Amino acid sequence: MLPVGLRTARLVLDPPVRADAELVTRYCQDPLFERYLTTPWPYTRADAEAFLGAHVPESWASGNELTWALRRFDGGPLLGVISVREAQHELGFWMGAEHRGKGLMSEAAIAVVEWTLAGGIRGATTVFWRAVEGNIASAKVARAAGFRRIEPDDATVPTRDGTGTLPAWYAVREASVDPRASASWDAILEAAA
């Protein structure tokens, strides 16, 4: 697939490029990433170079994973990253620590999910989200993007070394937001408030 750019009220979403390596290297050293993501740990400049120089362009070309940088304007610095994987159309995202809490990831997630379900990815009728249990900020982004929490029997994610699993939260989003979606988060997000 050829890379696709998206725009929201405050953001430009485009494929991250090699010139973003310095920021990606710095952001991905955040200890939260060790806990909540499966990005390499410890994270080095070589990891960023491989991600930007190979993974991102190859995954756009194959359609395996579509990855966007979040920027405030064309050519601006990378603030964070969001992607949709072909397998189950799973949404993933991270934001550089100093850019969090401004609603920017929620804005990007809405744009990516709506693009995906409006035919951006042919045949996609559902977008899927999961996070390690306790990742409140990620759950709030999923809620803001209209996801409905589901409770499958085996609600886990693999540990980063692949040898075990961790309890996880799961949610789905279809083209029209399920009327039960917002309330489906109450049990975990009100308990955490």
Ligand X SMILES: CC(C)(COP(=O)(O)OP(=O)(O)OC[C@H]1O[C@@H](n2cnc3c(N)ncnc32)[C@H](O)[C@@H]1OP(=O)(O)O)[C@@H](O)C(=O)NCCC(=O)NCCS
- Smallest gap from Cβ 37 to ligand X, in A, equals 6
CB-based burial of residue 148 (10 Å sphere; 0-12 exposed, 13-18 middle, 19+ buried)? buried
Among 43, 93, 115, 170, binds ligand X (CB under 6 A): 93
Among 135, 146, 149, 184, binds ligand X (CB under 6 A): 135
Identity of residue 24: V
**Strand, helix or coil for residue 95:** strand
First to last CA, the chain: 41
Alpha helices, DSSP H, located in the chain = 21-27, 31-36, 45-50, 56-62, 104-115, 136-144, 186-192
Among 102, 118, 151, 159, binds ligand X (CB under 6 A): 102
Q: Which is nearer to ligand X, 22 or 61 (CB)?
A: 22
- Taking CB under 6 A as the binding criterion, the range among 5-13, 49-57, 132-140, 147-155 that sits at the site for ligand X is 132-140
Contact positions with ligand X (CB under 6 A) in 22-41: 32-33, 36-37
- Does 67 bind ligand X (CB under 6 A)? Our answer is no
- Smallest gap from Cβ 27 to ligand X, in A, equals 8
**Strand, helix or coil for residue 69:** strand
- Does 181 bind ligand X (CB under 6 A)? Our answer is no
- Does 101 bind ligand X (CB under 6 A)? Our answer is yes
Q: Determine phi and psi for 96, rounding to 5 degrees.
A: -55, 135
Number of residues counted as binding ligand X (CB under 6 A): 22
